[in-house]
A and B are shown apart, each in its own frame.
Chain A
């Protein structure tokens, strides 16, 4: 089943040329995961390229969210999880015993399915990653806040009410605020777990535009249910099914000329 078509490391592809941006390489090698006795991920091998947008698609329960949450070790919170294999961020193993998980998570911003602004002001939300690092300099904080909010394309909407509660924003605004929060600490990787599934089409298109703008600055990994979205925003696409990586390659190729029947069936909506 492990017919994985990876872009071979080192070989120049069109996407390397197109991207060449900032961020970090992320690589997954022989990765397995068990919830108790039940295995959820099987032998995942995947090279995620720097500065590009990689989409994880697949039917519900195929393990794409689980894989994403392993990347910043959010799954550490769940009892009874075991993992095997390697995940490396710019060559260093993130599951090595001595890794500082907090420092690791600071290198990766994460955006969740449901917008989860904190119960505090917009300003405090954005600078939360700095606040917990003990940054007190008001000037620095304001500068970071503005940069992050501009980066998340929400600055114009909220610049006059930074001190108001973030819970008063609309769903789409809240999600962009969460993206601002995720990029405030200048991460290398941006993990997005179905960031648009709780949003209406207009808010969704705004987020997609934003992802396009962020491309090149961060390595973006996005889990999505929506195949059109994957086709629109991503450079590479990985198709997962029943905990296995079925096919991985450039997005255009995956959608127009998939190598495996299963992939074709899924991307054409035959199942899932």
Chain B
């Protein structure tokens, strides 16, 4: 062993010092938790941003017009459609055996995988399918030839093909070298006729029907009140008969007007031909929107894009909700949420005021408070069951008994409706409001209450003039949270009033304007319905994203406006102390 020089000792002791440093507990050195905590935050942010980006991107591109690809297959037929996506897939053994030798060898070289592309072919009435998978090995050639049209129709989904001819009341024009302006004018006129027919059939004849129904109900009410055959009943029946003649006249006039327009409309027809040469003749007014997909410039694409958004936002749904607009759902969601806030705000604030300001803080109040907090954790479908059982059947049933007996057995309030939905959601969100309000009340400085009391104010005056204004921003925060939760809730609504397709909006021009008993459409339910309940989930998928985007947007807008109001209140009431 060599003698330990001073140098070696120094080195050794330095090494020992380092080793001793590494021996300190891990938690005592550096910040090992930092990576964990920061990582968790980063992970959360990535998930949320990724989710929003995916919804946003898919929602935004849905309405952009795609080119129509024509694939010529090895058997000589052609398929035209929008390319949706491509994916590799494992080809089954028997299918593989049927293929020619060269293709088989190529697929085998690729571990038995081939690539296929999904084409949206449209023409459901001709093909019995909207989509078709085309494998790469069967295609000979793919191209985007000019002259192909994408035509959205009132029914049967889109048509993809060429325009063979149009028949404008005997003036037949060939599809080739068609004057687009003339076609557009004729189409606009046809759509205007269709709109008029719809207005007559829905609004005006609907009005007549409503009058007839109301008189029938009035007569029935007299019968229930005074007995069948009583003078009052007979008088009411006579009135019904007297009016019936004039109403019948109105009805006949309207229906003959509609029939006349339809007769004219029948003369304007368009003949389409698909890529395989099969023809389809239909009324021009049955076309909603059409564009030459492969001949569009950027301007044309933007026009189509905006027109589709406009239709989406302002029209009613068509084709089992997979096409058309979602105005009723937007409106229903908005109206229901506002009703819910109107119901939950006073109820929650009053409850919290009593709990915090008046109740003696003892065991009972503690139990109540815990129960309220726990209510927030009850699954929402439970509230739906309660809402249906209590609000719709018991409460609504009683209202029907007392106020609308003549309509029974048809329920008025005794079934799901926007009012019961709003109340059910109010019940669901009231714990949030109570908790937030209690916290806001507790945060009002004691000095302010004392200042007010020392001025000789009563307790209620102190609450009314000092505590509530000061707590208002906090209460608003609670309402915002409640609104966000309520607007996105679907499960309970399915039991208490949301429907797939509502014939009428809950607010319209007919007295009493706000129809609380009506069922309504909701964006959240619309997503579920379109995505998972429709004939063709592939067709519904883009609509799912657009509707999701819109729901998120609607919730964000409602929250943002509430936050703006809250911040204004905060500036006004809280401010800085020094």
Decide yes or no whether B445 CB sits under 8 A from chain A. yes
| B469 close to A114 (CB less than 8 A) | no
| A116 close to B445 (CB less than 8 A) | yes
Q: Which of B445-499 contact A (CB under 8 A)?
A: 445, 447-448, 450-458, 461, 465-466, 469-470
Decide yes or no whether B110 CB sits under 8 A from chain A. no
Q: Which of B169-198 contact A (CB under 8 A)?
A: none
Decide yes or no whether B576 CB sits under 8 A from chain A. yes
Decide yes or no whether B89 CB sits under 8 A from chain A. no
Q: Measured between alpha carbons, how far is A54 from B466 in the docked complex, in Å? A: 31
Decide yes or no whether B128 CB sits under 8 A from chain A. no
User: Given contacts A116-B447, A167-B577, A171-B578, are A128 and B452 in contact (CB under 8 A)?
Assistant: yes
Return the chain B residue nearest A72 by Cβ. B454
1/0 contact trace for B539-578 toward A, CB 8 Å? 0000000000000000000000000000000001111111
Q: Measured between alpha carbons, how far is A182 from B465 in the docked complex, in Å? A: 17
Instruction: List, in ascending order, chain B residues with CB within 8 A of A129's CB.
Output: 455-457
Return the chain B residue nearest A73 by Cβ. B453
Q: Measured between alpha carbons, how far is A106 from B458 in the docked complex, in Å? A: 11
Instruction: List, in ascending order, chain A residues with CB within 8 A of B455's CB.
Output: 105-106, 109, 128-129, 132, 181-182, 185
Return the chain B residue nearest A106 by Cβ. B456
- CB proximity of B152 to chain A, nearest CB, Å: 57
Instruction: List, in ascending order, chain A residues with CB within 8 A of B572's CB.
Output: 119, 165
Choose from A72, A128, A185 the contact partner of B465 (Cβ within 8 Å). A128
Q: Measured between alpha carbons, how far is A185 from B450 in the docked complex, in Å? A: 16
Number of A residues contacting the other chain (C-beta, 8 Å)?
34
| A105 close to B465 (CB less than 8 A) | no
| B465 close to A132 (CB less than 8 A) | yes
Q: Measured between alpha carbons, how far is A185 from B458 in the docked complex, in Å? A: 15
| B578 close to A105 (CB less than 8 A) | no
Instruction: List, in ascending order, chain B residues with CB within 8 A of A77's CB.
Output: 450, 453
Q: Measured between alpha carbons, how far is A105 from B448 in the docked complex, in Å? A: 15
| A114 close to B447 (CB less than 8 A) | yes
Instruction: List, in ascending order, chain A residues with CB within 8 A of B577's CB.
Output: 114-115, 167
Return the chain B residue nearest A105 by Cβ. B456
User: Given contacts A116-B447, A119-B469, A167-B576, are A109 and B454 in contact (CB under 8 A)?
Assistant: yes
- CB proximity of B450 to chain A, nearest CB, Å: 6
| A103 close to B447 (CB less than 8 A) | no
Choose from B456, B470, B573, B575 the contact partner of A168 (Cβ within 8 Å). B575
Q: Measured between alpha carbons, how far is A108 from B456 in the docked complex, in Å? A: 9
Q: Measured between alpha carbons, how far is A108 from B453 in the docked complex, in Å? A: 11
| B453 close to A116 (CB less than 8 A) | no
- CB proximity of B332 to chain A, nearest CB, Å: 38
Q: Measured between alpha carbons, how far is A129 from B466 in the docked complex, in Å? A: 12
Q: Measured between alpha carbons, how far is A68 from B447 in the docked complex, in Å? A: 15
Decide yes or no whether A149 CB sits under 8 A from chain B. no
1/0 contact trace for A189-208 toward B, CB 8 Å? 00100000000000000000
Instruction: List, in ascending order, chain A residues with CB within 8 A of B445's CB.
Output: 116
Return the chain B residue nearest A102 by Cβ. B456
Decide yes or no whether A118 CB sits under 8 A from chain B. yes
Decide yes or no whether A74 CB sits under 8 A from chain B. yes
- CB proximity of B574 to chain A, nearest CB, Å: 7
- CB proximity of A179 to chain B, nearest CB, Å: 12
> Sorted from nearest, which 9 A-B pairs have the closest CB atoms?
A167-B575, A106-B456, A110-B454, A119-B573, A116-B447, A116-B451, A129-B455, A105-B456, A132-B457
**Known A109-B455, A110-B451; 19 more pairs at CB < 8 Å:** A72-B454, A74-B453, A77-B450, A79-B361, A102-B456, A112-B450, A112-B454, A116-B450, A118-B451, A119-B469, A119-B470, A128-B452, A128-B455, A129-B455, A131-B465, A132-B457, A165-B572, A165-B575, A182-B455
Q: A-side interface residues toward B, CB under 8 Å?
A: 72, 74, 77, 79, 102-103, 105-106, 108-110, 112, 114-120, 128-129, 131-133, 165, 167-168, 170-171, 178, 181-182, 185, 191
A-B contact pairs, 9 of them (CB 8 A): A102-B456, A102-B458, A118-B452, A118-B466, A119-B448, A119-B572, A120-B469, A129-B457, A132-B461
Q: B-side interface residues toward A, CB under 8 Å?
A: 361, 445, 447-448, 450-458, 461, 465-466, 469-470, 572-578
